[in-house]
Amino acid sequence: MSCVFILLLLLILTTVGCSVQKIKSGKAQEFKNISSEELLEMLKNKDFFLLDVHIPEQKHIKGTDEFIPYNEIEKYKEKLPKDKKKK
């Protein structure tokens, strides 16, 4: 169960992020922390791309769009949404 929680937390941070602003390439990007309960609610009316980057690959959260190991994202970037503004 703890692996699922860690995976869930990692997915939250990669899809929604943390509640601070991060400066990247001169642009501010805003992120928001969410709870596991909030994620479950969001998955009911899913309007975002959910990427699993966990290594080693394990059970996925229902609704995961793609699995790409975090250390191979550059290699499989064509699997990521073309629209960089997509949630």
E strands in 25-70: 27-30, 51-52, 66-67
Average pLDDT for 50-71:
85
| pLDDT 10s digits, 11-25 | 565 554 433 444 445
Residue 84 lies in a domain: no
Residue 54 lies in a domain: yes
Residue 70 lies in a domain: yes
Residue 24 lies in a domain: yes
End-to-end CA separation in angstroms for the chain: 27
More confident residue, 25 or 59: 59
Residue 7 lies in a domain: yes
Give me the half-sphere count of Cα atoms (radius 13 Å) on the Cβ side of residue 53: 20
Give me the half-sphere count of Cα atoms (radius 13 Å) on the Cβ side of residue 6: 10
Judged by phi (left if over 0) then psi (alpha if -120 to 50, else beta), residue 27 lies in beta
Q: Confirm if 63 and 50 have CB atoms less than 8 A apart.
A: yes
**Tally of domains within the chain:** 1
**Which structural domain range is residue 61 located in?**
2-79
Residue 85 lies in a domain: no
More confident residue, 70 or 29: 70
More confident residue, 55 or 74: 74
What percent of the chain has pLDDT above 70? Answer: 64
Residue 87 lies in a domain: no
Average pLDDT for 50-72:
85
pTM of the shown model: 0.57
